Amino acid sequence: MSIGTYPPKFGVRVDPEQCMLCGRCVENCSYGVFRMEEGRLKVNSRNCVACHRCLAMCPRDAITIRERPVDYRSHPLWTPQVREAIFNQAKTGKIIVAGMGNALPYPVIFDHLVLDACQVTNPSIDPLREPMELRTYIGKKPSRIELVKRGNGEVDLLTSLSPNLKLETPIMIGHMSYGAISLNAQMSLARAVSEIGTYMGTGEGGLHESLYPYQDHMIVQIASGRFGVDIDYLERGAAIEIKIGQGAKPGIGGHLPGEKVNQEVSMTRMIPKGSDAISPAPHHDIYSIEDLKQLVRSLKEATEWKKPVFVKIAAVHNSAAIAAGIARSSADAIVIDGFRGGTGAAPRVFRDHVGIPVEAAIASVDAKLRQQGIRNEVSIIASGGIRESADVAKIIALGADAVYIGTAALVALGCRVCGTCNRGVCAWGIATQREDLVKRLDPAIGSQQIINLVHGWTDELAELMGAAGINSIESLRGNRDRLRSYMLDSALMDVLDVKSVGA
Amino acid sequence: MKKVTIDATDLHYTPLNQQIRKAVREGTDHIVLDNVMGQRFIADGLKGSVVIEIHGVAGGDLGMFMRGPDIRLFGNADHAPGNTMDAGSIAIHGSAGDAVAHSMRGGKVLVRDNIGYRGGIHMKQYVDKCPVLVIGGSSRSFLGEYMAGGLLIMLRRFADTLEIERGIGSGIYGGEIFIRGNVPDSCLGVGTKKDICHGDDIARIVPVIHEFCETFSLDPGIFLNSEYTRISPASARPFANKYTWE
């Protein structure tokens, strides 16, 4: 091989002064970095992915991990990543697959938006003293209601209302399938959302039996492969989501490799053990926006119009026009998944280069639906790259009703964003089906960590709203006047409909 | 035997389905729908054992997500009858549109005449559930595309529609397709394997052929004494060699 080996991505050092040869690193590393040979600890740095499992389990802080311990000649265009992708493809001739979200250093729009706070002229609100309304309803809102007065002074509602989901916080957990993540990871999320009073997505992997007790807080997904989909599954969900696209890989389908289809995954997806689960790029029964209406209504008809139906699309150039079509399809909510959205596995070229940021997509979708007078027809859910409560506040001010978090929830379970979910040997028991690894994640502890995270964010959101003199999430929604742009260009400011700082 | 007749004239599909569900709840075992004129979603998500006899033209997604009912349609169907169907049967005494039996995971769809594009696309099987699609006439392109399981039989019973279109079994990774007569290689999709079958090789499909012929009062003779082309996956993991890790 004329290319030879190339520099290891990480250098692992064990301080012999600190190390007591307890072997916990050997036990914990599922990537094969450590081994014990004749009473001595040997390290193979090349296998390291920086998942930090060894670090977290080392009782003596003996391990250090450095990224890129060997320098390439620095060059702004020919980055180490670019060079290594070429090496890889020169050797294999294949499509490069990677886990997690977009790994290119595009500017983050969230970090160029600042929030407002009250000073003197209007008072801020103290959330400790005043009630703050964070409850959010997802679904259609009537454009008008008809009431009739009865003789005894009571009023009857004549308008029939569409089913809505009631969220105690505008934070939901996005769709990560059983298969992509472990059952213990899904169980942790399910227990947490039930406790918090919010919802999570099942992903396109069916609903495992052990999650039935939490089904009232699960949004069941129907994607192009229709894995795990039958009438019971649709009836179990609190809502049904049609997945058209995913922010991490817009325009393409998904292939769950046969290695990840063990007995339990096979049962839940209803496919033979060890077989690939191939989700085609489009839904082959819907080839147009008119057909989408057909699929939305088929799901409503199958469940007797009792469940809200969501449609999830990846944020792409013409998201706003697509959303306007979805809003007219009888759907109850649109999920816009930005190009920073995570994934278990995606071709690197899609992960890094296809789609647009969620901030711009949400702003343009909200604006388009308002212009057309149909904003009330659907709720807007933002996902893909929501990292903290400030992002939640900003995206709601740009027009979203609620958010889905994915990666953030996994980080709350221990994920270090090492980006090797596709390998299936996640040392944290999250993105794996290997029994010994899955056992590392205790759903009792995991769910509490998720509850803590969402609780912390929700409190912060209430504080941010209070500081801005807002006591209801409704008043923050689409309230772009409470945002200012810091160093964004004017074209983007027009899209977001925000003024500059100082203006 | 409890029989109910519903007149579907000018009836929207939602109230129509509500009446069907009500009849099933009340223990009806034979429902007759008269004057059906393109109503979509008939028996969508319906569970139970009931015969539904339809007179007229059924709209899209007939029997979608259905589990159990036995639908007998005396007329044509629009696209995707049997879409993601779980169990039961649909017999179409006529032709059907595109994506017939899309993602079907169990039960039977029998079409007496012809179907459109993408018939049997992504049909799949699991343990004891093996969906069956039989087409009496011919289909348009991409028959059995992405097929992951199940049995698809095309009998080409019309002398004037013996043409075979391209893309058969494109991306197939499970299940099998039997087509009566020869299929030129140029019509096979990516990742397929072709065998010629006769005699004992078709013993497995003989009961299905008999059932089809009984349903539509056809003579099975010609179908039983023919050569079939069996199309199956060249690999159960067609994409396994497409990717490398970052």
What's the complex ipTM?
Answer: 0.95
Question: Which of 1.10.472.50, 3.30.1180.20, 3.30.930.10, 3.30.70.20 is the CATH number of A10-94?
Answer: 3.30.70.20
CB contact under 8 A, B126 and A298: no
The pLDDT score that the predictor gives to residue A320 is 97
Instruction: Flag whether pLDDT at A210 surpasses 90.
Output: yes
Name the average pLDDT for chain A. Answer: 95
In this structure, how many other beta carbons lie within 10 angstroms of the beta carbon of residue B1?
Answer: 6
Instruction: Find the mean pLDDT for residues A366-377.
Output: 97
d(CA A185, CA A322): 33
3-state secondary structure of B18: helix
* DSSP H helices in A272-402: 289-302, 319-327, 348-353, 358-371, 389-397
Closest Cα in chain B to A345: B245
Instruction: Please provide the DSSP assignment of A87-102 as one string.
Output: HHHHHH-SEEEE-SS-
Instruction: Flag whether pLDDT at A230 surpasses 70.
Output: yes
Q: Which of A15-19, A130-134, B238-242 has the lowest mean pLDDT?
A: B238-242
- What residues of A are in contact with residue B125 (Cβ under 8 Å)? 272
Closest Cα in chain B to A228: B105
Fold of A154-423+451-497: TIM Barrel (3.20.20)
- What residues of A are in contact with residue B61 (Cβ under 8 Å)? 285, 294, 298
Instruction: Flag whether pLDDT at A448 surpasses 90.
Output: yes
How many residues make up chain B in this entry? Answer: 246
CB contact under 8 A, B67 and A92: no
Instruction: Find the mean pLDDT for residues A240-256.
Output: 92
Instruction: Flag whether pLDDT at A103 surpasses 70.
Output: yes
Name the pTM for this structure: 0.96
Helix (H) or strand (E) holding A300: helix A289-302
- Residue A269's pLDDT band, with cuts at 50, 70 and 90, is confident
Instruction: Flag whether pLDDT at A264 surpasses 90.
Output: no
Instruction: Flag whether pLDDT at A36 surpasses 90.
Output: yes
Amino acid at A385: G
The pLDDT score that the predictor gives to residue A409 is 98
CB contact under 8 A, A226 and B245: no
- Residue A275's pLDDT band, with cuts at 50, 70 and 90, is confident
Phi and psi at residue A260, to the nearest 5°:
-85, -5
Nearest Cβ partner for B245 among A97, A229, A272: A97
- What residues of A are in contact with residue B86 (Cβ under 8 Å)? 230-231
Q: Is B12 on the interface with A (CB under 8 A)?
A: no
Q: Is A258 on the interface with B (CB under 8 A)?
A: yes
CB contact under 8 A, A97 and B240: no
Q: Is A298 on the interface with B (CB under 8 A)?
A: yes
Closest Cα in chain A to B245: A97
CB contact under 8 A, B148 and A278: yes
Residues 238-257 of A with CB under 8 A from B: 255, 257
Residues 214-233 of A with CB under 8 A from B: 225-226, 229-231
Nearest Cβ partner for B64 among A92, A302, A348: A302
Alpha-carbon distance A14 to nearest alpha carbon in chain B (angstroms): 26
- Residue B205's pLDDT band, with cuts at 50, 70 and 90, is very high
Please provide the distance, in angstroms rounded to a whole number, between the alpha carbons at the two ends of chain B.
64
CB contact under 8 A, B244 and A85: no
Instruction: Find the mean pLDDT for residues B14-19.
Output: 98
Q: Is B84 on the interface with A (CB under 8 A)?
A: yes
d(CA A362, CA A383): 10
- What residues of A are in contact with residue B102 (Cβ under 8 Å)? 284-285
3-state secondary structure of B97: coil
Interface test with A, best of B41, B47, B245 (most A CBs within 10 A): B245
Instruction: Find the mean pLDDT for residues A269-283.
Output: 85
d(CA A258, CA B62): 32
Q: Is A301 on the interface with B (CB under 8 A)?
A: yes
pLDDT in tens, A138-187: 999 999 999 999 988 899 999 999 999 999 999 999 999 998 999 999 99
Widest pairwise Cα distance in chain B: 64
Return the closest-CA partner of residue A174 out of A208, A153, A213, A203. A203
CB contact under 8 A, B64 and A271: no
CB contact under 8 A, B145 and A92: no
- Residue A470's pLDDT band, with cuts at 50, 70 and 90, is very high
Alpha-carbon distance B149 to nearest alpha carbon in chain A (angstroms): 9
The pLDDT score that the predictor gives to residue A441 is 98
pLDDT in tens, A302-356: 999 999 999 999 999 999 999 999 999 999 999 999 999 999 889 999 999 999 9
Contacts of A323 (CB under 8 A, 6+ apart): A313, A334, A336, A365, A368, A369, A378, A380
Domains and CATH numbers, chain B: 3-233 (2.160.20.60)
8 Å CB contact between A420 and A345: no
The residue ranges of every structural domain in chain A are: 10-94, 154-423+451-497
Residue matched to tokens 């429902």: B31
d(CA A228, CA B86): 11
Q: Is B239 on the interface with A (CB under 8 A)?
A: yes
Alpha-carbon distance A231 to nearest alpha carbon in chain B (angstroms): 6
pLDDT in tens, B122-179: 999 998 899 999 999 999 999 999 999 999 999 999 976 656 889 999 999 999 999 9
- What residues of A are in contact with residue B129 (Cβ under 8 Å)? 270
- What residues of B are in contact with residue A270 (Cβ under 8 Å)? 105, 124, 126, 129
Contacts of B47 (CB under 8 A, 6+ apart): A231, B66, B67, B68
Q: Is A489 on the interface with B (CB under 8 A)?
A: no
8 Å CB contact between B174 and B151: no
CB contact under 8 A, A284 and B99: yes
Residues 408-427 of A with CB under 8 A from B: 419-420, 422-423
Instruction: Flag whether pLDDT at A261 surpasses 90.
Output: no
d(CA A131, CA B136): 68
